């Protein structure tokens, strides 16, 4: 992980620091009622703790994606056997590139942000897979110089998104209630609603206050070390309802 990709070098993250942040993240998911499976590390893939990027999961099936960074391309095949054990259907994006970080699942459609990691061919191939699962996909734009579409937004409930002002300005969320992160707290937009709580970066007090004002319970988590390799809170897990109990 210390060799993970980053847009700007602010120094390597501390291994122990990331480990502590990851442990707290897993503990927060468990406390929120999630049954967590922790996967083994993949030597040779320093960004592979960001399991959200090589796959997209739903109760009804999973889709193997095609990570847009060359050093991450092999992560999809590495996670495939794990998904095959857990999902009745495993579809695969054939063309182009698409990272899970660019994919936001809304109740009625799935938004796919074009970015440096996700191209139109990949987005269209993903839409074909989504259609097979009975879902609708829509291609949208990620703001310039933003790693992933979801770096700038998260779904808080069926009708509410947390997002940056620059993403809101694109009009993509005009049919939803939008809560904006304060200027200077853009990194807080990648939060994670899990059951009754919202996991949010502890370093963003303005965003936490705003979420609480809107009635959301917040679990603050440290993200300073993983942020050095451009990560937030959604990217370290794949989450789905088992469809059973």
Nearer to ligand CIR, 77 or 132 (CB): 77
Query: Is residue 161 a contact partner of residue 178, using CB atoms and an 8 Å limit?
Result: yes
Beta bridge partners of 64: 55, 92
Q: What tokens appear for 166 in the block?
A: 């620059």
The residue count for binding ligand CIR (CB under 6 A) is: 17
Part in contact with ligand CIR (CB under 6 A); list of ranges 121-129, 161-169, 204-212, 229-237: 229-237
Here the contacts of 3-10 (C-beta below 8 Å, separation 24 or greater) are 3/46, 4/46, 4/47, 4/229, 4/230, 4/231, 5/46, 5/47, 5/69, 5/71, 5/72, 5/229, 5/230, 6/228, 6/229, 6/230, 7/145, 7/147, 7/230, 10/228
Site for ligand CIR in 59-118 (CB under 6 A): 69, 72, 101
Site for ligand CIR in 4-63 (CB under 6 A): 4-6, 47, 50, 52-53
Part in contact with ligand CIR (CB under 6 A); list of ranges 155-163, 169-177, 181-189, 225-233: 225-233
163 is annotated as an active-site residue? no
Nearer to ligand CIR, 9 or 213 (CB): 9
235 is annotated as an active-site residue? yes
Residues in the site for ligand CIR, rule: CB under 6 A? 4-6, 47, 50, 52-53, 69, 72, 101, 148, 151, 229-232, 235
Active site amino acids: 148, 235
């Amino acid at each position: 992980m210390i060799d993970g990709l980053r847009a700007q070098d602010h120094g390597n993250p501390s291994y122990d620091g990331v480990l502590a942040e990851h442990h707290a993240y897993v503990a927060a998911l468990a406390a929120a009622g999630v049954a967590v499976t922790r996967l083994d590390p993949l030597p040779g893939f320093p960004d592979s703790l960001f399991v959200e990027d090589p796959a997209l999961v739903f109760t009804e099936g999973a889709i193997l994606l095609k990570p847009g960074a060359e050093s991450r391309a092999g992560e999809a095949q590495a996670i495939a056997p794990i998904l095959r054990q857990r999902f009745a259907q495993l579809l695969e994006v054939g063309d182009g590139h698409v990272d899970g970080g660019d994919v936001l699942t809304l109740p009625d459609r799935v938004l796919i942000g074009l970015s440096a990691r996700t191209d139109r061919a990949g987005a269209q191939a993903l839409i074909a897979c989504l259609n097979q699962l009975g879902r609708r996909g829509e291609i949208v734009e990620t703001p310039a110089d933003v790693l992933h579409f979801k770096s700038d937004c998260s779904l808080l409930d069926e009708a509410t998104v947390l997002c940056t002002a620059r993403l809101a300005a694109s009009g993509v969320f005009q049919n939803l209630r939008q809560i904006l992160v304060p200027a200077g707290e853009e990194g807080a937009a990648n939060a994670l609603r899990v059951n009754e709580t919202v996991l949010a970066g502890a370093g963003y007090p303005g965003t936490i206050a705003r979420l609480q004002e809107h009635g959301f319970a917040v679990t603050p988590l440290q993200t300073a070390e993983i942020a050095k390799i451009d990560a937030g809170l959604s990217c370290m897990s794949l989450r789905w309802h088992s469809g059973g109990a």
